């Protein structure tokens, strides 16, 4: 199993993988959302790929079988992230026909190895029930905090 970093030639494939992941995670997407993602996401990847978004891939022949994204952000330092550099795992996805071959675990091991090299203080993710044991097996732990996780949405 070879885990590779995506490059600029993979932008179209990364966009389609993101859409596949979102459809599976969120259910049916609106035509409008799909159009916006197809139109704008390639530009995002072109500007940010291997700068602050790192995409890990496993291929079966020429087809991408599995992927995961690592978003790196630098924040003002705190004891919770002493280097100020943090990571968020996004879009861990294996196409259905390639599941149960260890691809997601292989990608996560490479991603976390790179996180150490990038001097990230912490890497976080949100897990579905299906992925929970995988993430535990590579070292993630549940976070208990005195803080409430909250969001503001621009409507």
Residue 49 sits at φ, ψ, to 5 deg, of -60, 130
Beta partners for residue 49, in sequence order: 53
Residue 14 maps to a domain: yes
Rounded distance, CA 100 to CA 81, Å? 34
pLDDT along the chain (155 residues), means of 10: 95 95 92 97 98 96 93 95 96 95 97 97 94 96 89 87
Residue 103 maps to a domain: yes
Residue numbers of the domain that contains 128 = 4-137
Domain count, the chain: 1
Residue 23 maps to a domain: yes
Which CATH number do you get for residue 61?
3.40.630.30
Cα pseudo-dihedral 59, 62, 63, 69, rounded to 10 = 50
Residue 144 maps to a domain: no
Residue 89 maps to a domain: yes
Q: Helix %, strand %, coil % for the chain, to 5?
A: 40, 25, 35
Closest CA to 138 of 148, 114, 118: 114
The predicted model scores a pTM of 0.93
Residue 26 maps to a domain: yes
């Amino acid at each position: 199993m070879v885990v590779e970093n995506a490059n600029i030639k993979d932008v179209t494939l990364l966009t389609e993988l993101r859409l596949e992941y979102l459809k599976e995670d969120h259910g049916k997407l609106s035509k409008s959302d799909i159009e916006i993602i197809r139109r704008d996401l390639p530009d995002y990847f072109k500007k940010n790929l291997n700068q602050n978004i790192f995409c890990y891939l496993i291929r079966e022949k020429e087809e991408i079988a599995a992927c995961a994204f690592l978003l790196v952000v630098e924040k003002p330092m705190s004891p919770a992230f002493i280097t100020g550099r943090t990571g968020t795992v996004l879009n861990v996805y294996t196409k259905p026909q390639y599941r149960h071959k260890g691809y997601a675990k292989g990608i996560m091991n490479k991603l976390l190895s790179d996180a150490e090299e990038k001097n990230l203080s912490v890497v976080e993710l949100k897990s579905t029930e299906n992925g929970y044991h995988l993430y535990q097996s590579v070292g993630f732990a549940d976070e208990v905090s005195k803080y409430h996780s909250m969001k503001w949405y621009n409507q």
